[in-house]
Amino acid sequence: MPILPVFHGHSNPRLAKPDLPPAPIVAPAEVRICAHGHHSGAAWHERWASRHCDSLTDTPDKIMQKFLGVIFSTAILLSACSTTQVSEAETRAEYDRIVARMTDQEYNVRHILVEHRWQAEAALVRIKSGEAFGPVARDVSQDPGSAPQGGEMGWNVPAHFVPEFSEAMVRLGASGLTAEPVKSPFGWHVIEVTGMRKEQPPPFDELKDQIAKRLKQKKERLR
């Protein structure tokens, strides 16, 4: 014999019938327009349930589903009512402020990564004897990301690397090859810097939407 659900302390035979099509969810009047005040969540929920739910046919789960549907609809309505605007001039000014704070130097760097020191020393000997860095890197480097490109890692700021690597890179300045292998948690490196420049920011058009969104969120928090 099936066990009937219990609603408010009483078994209700109507609950055992197939679910009826859900009634259309209509947001209450106080959330159909932009709200001008705040309501207690619990009290609001009780008032809403008393107006829009059937105590005979709606289980607690159904009531919660209806209520969450209204909350979701309300969030969309309130979002549409937002009047916070961010101008192009504000976005450009924020971009310029970010760029002005970019003080790091970028290094055009390449490396060879191997497991043992003697392997790095052997690679250094080959390069110092006249072999080009790229072919040696493709031959012996165990870094799957850069080895096929001859060890090239492109332009990077020191923060992109572990301290052991970045400190050795910075010491080389605008160009240079490490005199000795460099140990890091990943293994042994032979590092060469081929250029140095001030950090280059992404173009304004690539960042403007992200900056505008952040400025809008900041304005809304301050309202």
Domains and CATH numbers, the chain: 41-81 (no CATH), 93-99+202-222 (no CATH), 105-198 (3.10.50.40)
State what percent of residues in the chain have pLDDT above 90. Answer: 41
Express each pLDDT in 8-21 by its tens digit: 343 333 333 344 44
Contact between 105 and 196 (Cβ < 8 Å): yes
Q: 132 is written with which tokens?
A: 């080009």
Cα 199 from chain centroid (whole Å): 22
Question: CA–CA separation, 192 vs 170, rounded Å?
Answer: 11
Q: What is the mean pLDDT of residues 169-183?
A: 95
Which band of pLDDT confidence, cut at 50, 70 and 90, is reported for residue 218?
Answer: confident
> Would the pLDDT of 95 be above 90?
no
Contact between 198 and 106 (Cβ < 8 Å): yes
Q: What is the pLDDT of residue 122?
A: 97
Q: Residue 159 carries which DSSP code?
A: G
More confident residue, 94 or 34: 94
For the chain, what is the mean pLDDT?
76
Q: What is the mean pLDDT of residues 106-118?
A: 97
Distances (CA, A) of 104 to 63, 93, 155, 168, 186: 57, 21, 12, 16, 24
| Closest of 159, 105, 110, 115 to residue 140, by C-alpha | 115
Q: What is the pLDDT of residue 216?
A: 85
Q: What is the pLDDT of residue 72?
A: 62
Q: What is the mean pLDDT of residues 27-41?
A: 43
Q: What is the mean pLDDT of residues 194-216?
A: 88
For the ranges 45-49, 83-87, 127-131, the lowest mean pLDDT is seen at 45-49
More confident residue, 69 or 189: 189
Strand partners, 10: 7
Q: What is the pLDDT of residue 193?
A: 97
| Single pTM value for the model | 0.52
Question: CA–CA separation, 117 vs 115, rounded Å?
Answer: 7
Q: What is the pLDDT of residue 39?
A: 46
Which band of pLDDT confidence, cut at 50, 70 and 90, is reported for residue 195?
Answer: very high
